[in-house]
Structure 1
């Protein structure tokens, strides 16, 4: 019988320890709880920290779980399940809004379109499933960056390309947009990525209230936005209702 790798067992034990009990633990706490020498515990913690599975508080020196675990947790939620849960609700949203509907997830420093419902008219359209969109300029990307710490980090690390004169590229201004997104629960893209196109997006959560994706409506600016230039309130409400419905189907409950 193959033997287990001791270092991996110890790393797994550390992650379980950090996942329960106190939010942050010091090196001595970790070492004594697992019966390890401080040097051994420190080496494993440094490796986990380098991989993003553990973070160290600069002020106290204590350790906690890192954002990379969120990415793994989101991957565990099968994207096919997310799409399956979204099918009916996104079809309803497309019919109600008269616009195209997209469901996107974080993938390789961008937004992967994993479901696309055509605008319900007779116009010629191209299926965009599998296409990538930027994090910093699209409504889907802003929502993911606002709610997902991994997406947030990646949005700040990548070059924020100015696709149009409206694209926000300054880091401080972009962070203000993410704060507004969290405050109101939705994001918009009014000609920031494509001239003449506007979109509205809201986050989708799982049973642990973790962000697993986002849903958006996109269409011509004159249809998506009102005279003020802002997205129409009824459309924003419809997108948020759709996101909540998909979230409930994923076990998020009422929120």
Structure 2
């Protein structure tokens, strides 16, 4: 019983931290709404988490935000990611040379996780995407990450394709076509499928076995990326950098990975 109670306490504390992560600085009432926990339970958990420096309370607004201790945790977690280590410098150079945004992401279950993002002068952000999650079907990164799965596996993983804009792919037949194009051309595109006014081109990153383990994208406002006239140019840059990262991770090309055929 004690062990069950401890587990329940950990799960509740994790749900509080997750709510603050997703929503940003939050009041007790906000966290109650997000987690479904009682107010007294949330207040008690926040007091304990504050004592451990996991959260910090703003005395003026009464909101709670994540503590700086998570910076050390995030840094340690990122440095253990081989993809992050190999992609960080090429990603920085690519963003600087194009003036656009460059993102690197991996798949965890039915979502993509951003490992890093770099902003060029034409695609500034007031926040970092690092650690954020996004849907797979409505992003160029996600389409690359889904390219390692069969159609049946994609349908099992994502039974419902949520619409985010009028341009979002919401049926699996169209998603199959988008994923198939990754195998044909070596890259994927996204035009206003996740957010209006934004577009993106991504290419897959492979490990030494030839498996797609991550993807790198070039993104920005429609006017800055200008895929109508620059798709081929932008795609070639994404593929070149993705290939260089894959090579650094031990990928030797299709001949070296014939035992791991890619499944459309």
Task: Quickly name the TM-score band, shorter chain normalised.
Answer: 0.5 to 0.7
- Equivalent-residue separation in structure 1 for 2:99 and 2:116 (angstroms): 17
From the superposition, tell whether residues 227 and 143 of structure 1 become closer, same or farther in structure 2 (CA, over 3 Å).
closer
Q: Aligned ranges for residues 1-255 of structure 1 at < 5 Å?
A: 80-120=81-121, 123-149=124-150, 152-153=153-154, 157-227=158-228, 232-254=231-253
| Deviations 1:25-80 (CA, angstroms, capped at 9, x unpaired) | xxxxxxxxxxxxxxxxxxxxxxxxxxxxxxxxxxxxxxxxxxxxxxxxxxxxx862
When normalised by structure 1's length, the TM-score is 0.63
Structure 2 unmatched runs, 5+:
1-78, 255-264
Following superposition, the deviation at residue 119 of structure 1 comes to 2.2
When normalised by structure 2's length, the TM-score is 0.61
Following superposition, the deviation at residue 152 of structure 1 comes to 4.9
- Equivalent-residue separation in structure 2 for 1:180 and 1:113 (angstroms): 23
State the superposition RMSD in angstroms. 2.3
- Equivalent-residue separation in structure 2 for 1:80 and 1:93 (angstroms): 20
From the superposition, tell whether residues 226 and 216 of structure 1 become closer, same or farther in structure 2 (CA, over 3 Å).
closer
Following superposition, the deviation at residue 201 of structure 1 comes to 0.4
From the superposition, tell whether residues 83 and 218 of structure 1 become closer, same or farther in structure 2 (CA, over 3 Å).
same
| Deviations 1:88-138 (CA, angstroms, capped at 9, x unpaired) | 111111012211111110113110001111224694521111101111110
- Equivalent-residue separation in structure 2 for 1:139 and 1:122 (angstroms): 17
Judge conservation of contact 1:145–1:152 (CA < 8 Å) in 2.
no
Judge conservation of contact 2:205–2:216 (CA < 8 Å) in 1.
yes
From the superposition, tell whether residues 165 and 232 of structure 1 become closer, same or farther in structure 2 (CA, over 3 Å).
same
| Deviations 1:217-248 (CA, angstroms, capped at 9, x unpaired) | 110011212446xx521111111111001000
Structure 1 unmatched runs, 5+:
1-77
From the superposition, tell whether residues 89 and 151 of structure 1 become closer, same or farther in structure 2 (CA, over 3 Å).
farther
Following superposition, the deviation at residue 149 of structure 1 comes to 4.9
From the superposition, tell whether residues 204 and 124 of structure 1 become closer, same or farther in structure 2 (CA, over 3 Å).
closer
Following superposition, the deviation at residue 177 of structure 1 comes to 1.3
- Equivalent-residue separation in structure 1 for 2:151 and 2:175 (angstroms): 16
Q: Secondary structure at the match of 1:114?
A: strand
Q: Secondary structure at the match of 2:113?
A: strand
- Equivalent-residue separation in structure 2 for 1:195 and 1:163 (angstroms): 9
From the superposition, tell whether residues 182 and 85 of structure 1 become closer, same or farther in structure 2 (CA, over 3 Å).
same
Following superposition, the deviation at residue 156 of structure 1 comes to 5.2
Judge conservation of contact 1:156–1:171 (CA < 8 Å) in 2.
no
- Equivalent-residue separation in structure 2 for 1:184 and 1:98 (angstroms): 24
